[in-house]
Amino acid sequence: KAHRLITINDLELAAAVLLFAAVCLAVLQNRHQNCSAWPVVQLFLDNVTAKKNINKGTAKSPAARALLRLLSYLAKGSPVSWNAEFIAGVENTESDYLSRHAHEFDTSPAETYSEFFQKISPQSVGYEIYQPTHNLLSAVFYALHNGSLPDRLVRRIRAPSTVDESILGTFVART
């Protein structure tokens, strides 16, 4: 099977899937005491195609369709829903800071998360970092590279179950 390039549209959608998983985990763990009974993740995307795919629930790209299936699986039985809106790239300053200013960062492995996040987002002091499970990351990776989901995950998606914390990941303190 020939290798294909991963599009920026699919990568933006993959990031949205991981963000949704993080919010689901935060809601399940009741990390925000004043959370609505019907929480909605407001996704601001600077990619029109990814926004359209999320809001319509369909896509032309096989990888995007697989990621949307994964997003639907994560939403199944979750109190969290989503809405995607477009934000112009020039206004998307926080999310895109690293890609726009890569020359300012030391990307050596010795740099700690705290040092890194302090550079890109000083207001994030005290935040925890979402760490997806290896299974969730593997599913995203598989979707991006194969345009489908692994059979074992498809069977799980079809089963009448809800997503729990063990599927989503954990939050870790910045060190």
Query: What are the tokens at 156?
Result: 């799980």
State phi, psi for 50 to the nearest 5 degrees. Answer: -65, -40
Per-residue pLDDT at 165 = 83
Per-residue pLDDT at 113 = 56
Which residue is it, tokens 């005290």?
126
Per-residue pLDDT at 32 = 73
Per-residue pLDDT at 144 = 95
Per-residue pLDDT at 175 = 56
User: CB–CB of 89/46 below 8 Å?
Assistant: yes
CA distances from 37 to 74, 75, 95, 161 (A): 18, 15, 27, 20
Query: What are the tokens at 123?
Result: 């207001």
Per-residue pLDDT at 31 = 77
What is the pTM (predicted TM-score) of this model? Answer: 0.81
**Each residue's pLDDT expressed in tens, for the chain with a length of 175 residues:** 556 789 999 999 999 999 999 999 988 888 777 777 788 888 888 889 999 999 999 999 999 999 999 999 888 878 888 889 998 877 776 666 656 666 666 655 555 556 666 666 666 666 778 889 988 999 999 999 999 988 887 777 677 677 778 888 998 876 5
